[in-house]
Amino acid sequence: MEAAYRIETERTVLRCWEPKDAPLLSAAVESSLDHLRGWMPWAAGEPKSLDERAEFLRAMRAAFDRDEEYVYGIFNRDESAVIGGTGLHRRDDGNCLEIGYWVHVDWIGRGLATEISMALTNAAFELHKVDWVEIRCDPSNARSAAIPHKLGYSLDATLRRRRTTPQGQPEGTMIWSLFADEFPQSPAAAVKISAFDALGRELV
C-alpha cells in the first residue's frame, strides 16, 4: 500500500495539508462558517487563530505520515485557494476507509463533492486495497446523501442518535458502503486520477 500525498482531479488538487496552508484554510472556513455550522460539529470551535490552525495542520500531516488517516485539502488547480477539505479516515476495525468531505460555500451545487468522492473511492480501492469504503452523513443532508447513491454505494443502515448536531441535538447517521467486488461496476472505477507519493512520483 502506498498513500497518495497528492491526487489531481479534473477541477481540483487534493493534497496532504502543510502548516503553510493555514491562511488559505482559515479564509475558506471563515467565509463558509454560516453554512458549515449547520452540518459540521467541528465548526462550533471556529474561528481559530493562525497559530491554532497551523498546529492542527501539523497534526494532520503527522497522522498522514504515520498512515493513521489521510486528510487532504481541496485546492483549485493552481492551488491559490482552498475550496474544501476531505479525507480517507480509519473508522472501523476491518480493512475499511471512510470518506469525509466539506465544500466551500461558493462551490456548493457544482458537483465538486461527487468529483472528490469518486477520486477517493478509486484511491481507496486501487492504492490502499481496502475491502470496503464507507460514507456517513446526516439523514437530513439530502445533498450529501445523494453522493454515495450516485456512486453505487448501498445504504446499509440509518442509526438513531449516533451523532450530535452542531446545535447539540442527538441525530441519526446514514451509513453507505461499497465493497471491493462492487467497485468495478461503480462510476468511480471509470475515473482516471493522477496520484503521487511523498516524493512527487506518480503512483500507478
Give the per-residue pLDDT at 65. Answer: 96
Task: Indicate whether this model's pTM tops 0.85.
Answer: yes
Give the per-residue pLDDT at 102. Answer: 96
Give the per-residue pLDDT at 141. Answer: 87
Give the per-residue pLDDT at 146. Answer: 95
The residues of the chain scoring below 50 in pLDDT are none
Give the per-residue pLDDT at 197. Answer: 97
> Up-side HSE of residue 69: CA atoms within 13 Å toward CB?
17
Give the per-residue pLDDT at 167. Answer: 64
Give the per-residue pLDDT at 165. Answer: 65
Give the per-residue pLDDT at 138. Answer: 87
Give per-residue burial for 63-79: e unless 16+ CB within 10 Å, then b: bbeeeebbbbbbbeeee
> For 86-101, what is each residue's pLDDT tens digit?
999 998 779 999 999 9
Give the per-residue pLDDT at 41. Answer: 82
CB neighbour list of residue 73: distance below 8 Å, 6 or more residues apart:
14, 15, 16, 17, 21, 24, 25, 82, 84, 85
The domains found in the chain, sorted by start residue, are: 6-203 (3.40.630.30)
Give the per-residue pLDDT at 134. Answer: 97
CB 8 within 8 A of CB 15: no
Give the per-residue pLDDT at 161. Answer: 80
Give per-residue burial for 132-154: e unless 16+ CB within 10 Å, then b: bbbbbbbeeeeebbebbeebbbe
Match 467497485 to its residue by C-alpha cell. Answer: 183
- Is the preceding omega at residue 41 within 30 degrees of 0, hence cis? no
> For 179-192, what is each residue's pLDDT tens digit?
999 999 999 999 88
Give the per-residue pLDDT at 101. Answer: 95
Give the per-residue pLDDT at 39. Answer: 80
Give the per-residue pLDDT at 93. Answer: 77
Give the per-residue pLDDT at 166. Answer: 60
